């Protein structure tokens, strides 16, 4: 038989396994006898738990004795959130809804903290109520690690108070890449894309966070974004500005967009204001104007001159974000207008590859202003 023909190979194979088992057992005893830090204990315990979570049951005692699994604390454990997500399936809706009781004062503070969170902008009232019900408060101290790079994602965090530093490990060295100051949110990427944490967040002061568990986040936020993707995928792919982005990068842009509707003649941005958002016209027209001074018989007056019109697929509001200057122009809705809006943090994080295109447009704007005003306003300083 084929087994008999290979008996020599099998004997050597099992002899090697037995030798390995002996060495591994010795290694495990050395590890267990050495003192461990809290972090190491948590990491190893988690690695041991994941086997049972994945349903890797022992077939019999003899097999476990002979082929003992080796736990390597230097290998990241299998992700508990690596399952595929289909927004058309409602399996996660079968999970019991999580609710943390809150006082009126707590709920008011929570609503205030969530007011400007972009991920919540497209939720309907019932979904938003479920999110608020499921969030729980967590207090932290200075120096505490909120999340660590390469860990699995467990919660999404909304900042109520406190300051944080953001570190990213590059070539084995942690580099400070940003900070949060008493507002904002973090931790969504690992939950949305089933990836390990992309950064380490460390508190630099005492404060408070509101946390949303992974299952609720996926059931409501991820499903909502999946529906939004279907709605905006085709539209986003037609935008010339985003052609330099990879498909996955464009989808991340879709995930952070919110929708705003404006009535006829309503002001969208005002000249001289600080920039906080970038706008893409989804439907309708937007009139761009700039103030200029003109002399009259009595005095010097300012008038608004229309310098451009934006239609479906065109964008505005980017120059102030590119140049970090106040708005150089105003924008008004012409009829009913719907815009896709991206906040400044997402703009800087996701549209880096498009920055060259936007900077080239500054020169085009200057040429247009030259023809309109007879001289070029200093668009590089105040900018729309």
Instruction: Write down all domains in the chain, each with its CATH number in brackets.
Output: 104-218 (2.60.120.10), 239-295+302-373 (2.60.120.10)
Binding site as annotated, residues: 188, 197, 318, 327
Residues forming beta bridges with residue 201, ordered by sequence position: 147, 166
CA nearest 118: which of 270, 277, 244? 277
pTM of the predicted structure, to 2 decimals = 0.48
Residues forming beta bridges with residue 107, ordered by sequence position: none
**How far is C-alpha 52 from the chain's CA centre?**
31
State what percent of residues in the chain have pLDDT above 70: 66
Question: Would the pLDDT of 268 be above 90?
Answer: yes
Contact 193, 221 (CB under 8 A): no
Question: Would the pLDDT of 14 be above 60?
Answer: no
Per-residue confidence (pLDDT) for residue 347, from 0 to 100: 81
The secondary structure of the chain in percent helix, strand, coil, rounded to multiples of 5, reads: 40, 25, 35
Question: Which of the 8 DSSP states describes residue 95?
Answer: S
For 325, other C-beta atoms within 10 Å of its C-beta total 18
Per-residue confidence (pLDDT) for residue 244, from 0 to 100: 76
Per-residue confidence (pLDDT) for residue 221, from 0 to 100: 87
CA distances, 314 to each of 1, 46, 197, 236 (Å): 73, 49, 34, 11
Per-residue confidence (pLDDT) for residue 365, from 0 to 100: 58
The tens digit of pLDDT for each residue in 112-142 reads 999 888 788 878 788 899 999 999 999 999 9
CA nearest 250: which of 276, 280, 218? 280
At residue 34, the 3 state secondary structure works out as coil
Contact 237, 244 (CB under 8 A): no
Which tops the pLDDT comparison, 160 or 349? 160
**E strand or H helix at 343:** strand 330-343
Write phi, then psi, for 5 (nearest 5 degrees).
-65, -30
Task: Kindly report the average pLDDT of the chain as a whole number.
Answer: 74
The tens digit of pLDDT for each residue in 173-182 reads 999 988 999 9
How far apart CA 210 and CA 48 sit, in angstroms, is 29
State what percent of residues in the chain have pLDDT above 90: 33
- Cα angle 340, 218, 57 (rounded to 5 degrees) comes to 155
Rg of the chain over all Cα atoms, to the nearest angstrom: 28
Binding site as annotated, residues for 3',5'-cyclic AMP: 188, 197, 318, 327
Question: Would the pLDDT of 328 be above 50?
Answer: yes
- Strand ranges in 148-251 using DSSP code E only, listed in sequence order: 155-161, 163-170, 173-181, 185-186, 200-203, 207-213
Least confident of 107-116, 124-133, 218-227, 331-340: 218-227
Per-residue confidence (pLDDT) for residue 93, from 0 to 100: 56
């Amino acid at each position: 038989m084929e087994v008999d023909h290979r008996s020599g190979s099998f004997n050597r194979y099992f002899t090697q396994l037995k030798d390995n088992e002996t060495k591994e057992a010795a290694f495990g005893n050395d590890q267990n006898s050495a003192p461990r830090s809290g972090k190491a204990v948590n990491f190893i315990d988690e690695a041991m738990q994941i086997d049972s979570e994945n349903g890797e049951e022992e077939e019999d005692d003899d097999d476990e004795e002979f082929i003992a699994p080796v736990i390597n604390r230097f290998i990241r454990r299998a992700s508990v959130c690596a399952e595929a997500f289909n927004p058309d399936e409602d399996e996660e809706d079968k999970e019991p809804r999580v609710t943390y009781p809150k006082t009126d004062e707590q709920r008011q503070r929570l609503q205030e903290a969530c007011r400007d969170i972009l991920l919540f902008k497209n939720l309907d009232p019932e979904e938003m109520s479920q999110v608020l019900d499921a969030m729980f408060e967590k207090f932290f101290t200075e120096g505490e690690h909120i999340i660590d790079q390469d860990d699995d994602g467990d919660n999404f965090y909304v900042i109520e108070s406190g300051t944080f530093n953001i570190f990213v490990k590059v070539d084995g060295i942690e580099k400070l890449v940003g900070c949060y100051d008493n507002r904002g949110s973090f931790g969504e990427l690992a939950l949305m894309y089933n990836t390990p944490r992309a950064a380490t967040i460390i508190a630099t002061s005492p404060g408070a966070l509101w946390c949303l568990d992974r299952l609720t986040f996926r059931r409501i936020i991820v499903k909502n974004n999946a529906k939004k993707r279907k709605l905006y995928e085709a539209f986003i792919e037609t935008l010339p500005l985003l052609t330099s982005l990879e498909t996955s990068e464009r989808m991340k842009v879709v995930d952070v967009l919110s929708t705003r509707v404006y009535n006829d003649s309503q002001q969208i941005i005002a000249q001289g204001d600080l920039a906080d958002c970038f706008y893409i016209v989804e439907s309708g027209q937007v009139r761009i104007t700039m103030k200029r001074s003109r002399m009259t018989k009595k005095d010097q007056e300012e008038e608004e001159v229309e310098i451009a019109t934006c239609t479906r697929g065109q964008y505005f509001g980017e120059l102030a974000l590119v140049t970090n200057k106040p708005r150089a122009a105003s924008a008004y809705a012409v009829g009913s207008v719907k815009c896709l809006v991206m906040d400044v943090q997402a703009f800087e994080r996701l549209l880096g590859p498009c920055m060259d295109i936007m900077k080239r447009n500054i020169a085009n704007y200057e040429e247009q202003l030259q023809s309109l005003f007879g001289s070029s306003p200093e668009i590089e300083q105040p900018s729309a």
